Structure 1
Amino acid sequence: MALVKTVYNLLFRRTSTFAITIMVGAVLFERVFDQGGDALFEEINRGKLWKHIQHNYEKKNEE
């Protein structure tokens, strides 16, 4: 219960800190959700994306 009271006093007691907490939380959630979606997409499509098969189609310059 002490942890809940501490979090409330630090982040949610004043309107300004509450608003900042919500904004920072939204930005962090967006970043985590976006990177998680990209990681899932790449895992599902492993071996089908251009960066995985590029070496099969491009020649290296041998100078």
Structure 2
Amino acid sequence: MSGVLSGLYSAFVKRNSIFLATIFTGAFATNIAFDIVSNKVWDQINKGRQWKDIKYRYMQAGDEDEDE
């Protein structure tokens, strides 16, 4: 176990620039993952009540009005 921790330390923490790059990359990836998951949860909770779900009804109604 000590060898694994020593390897992680020398790979990610020993040099400040690599440590900061690891932190920023992790924060960026976490932000993207959180956005994707929260959007999927929101879409699942509000299914059928969003514009993207009901837009086709209004588009079809608009096409019929233009024909008259």
TM-score range, shorter chain: 0.7 to 0.9
* 1:30-58 Cα deviation digits (max 9, x unpaired): 11111111111101000111111111221
Runs of at least 5 residues in structure 1 that lack an aligned partner in the other structure: none
The alignment covers a number of residue pairs equal to 61
Matching of residues 9-20 of structure 1 within 5 Å? 9-20=10-21
Give the number of the structure whose residues are more often helix, by fraction: 2
- In structure 2, the partner of 1:31 is 32
Matching of residues 1-63 of structure 1 within 5 Å? 1=1, 2-59=3-60
Question: Which structure would you say has the larger RCO, counting Cα contacts within 8 Å and 6 or more residues apart?
Answer: 1
- Structure 1 residue ranges, 4+ long, deviating more than 6 angstroms after superposition: none
Report the identity percentage: 30
Alignment TM-score, normalising by the size of structure 2:
0.76
Distance in 2 between the 1:42 and 1:50 partners? 11
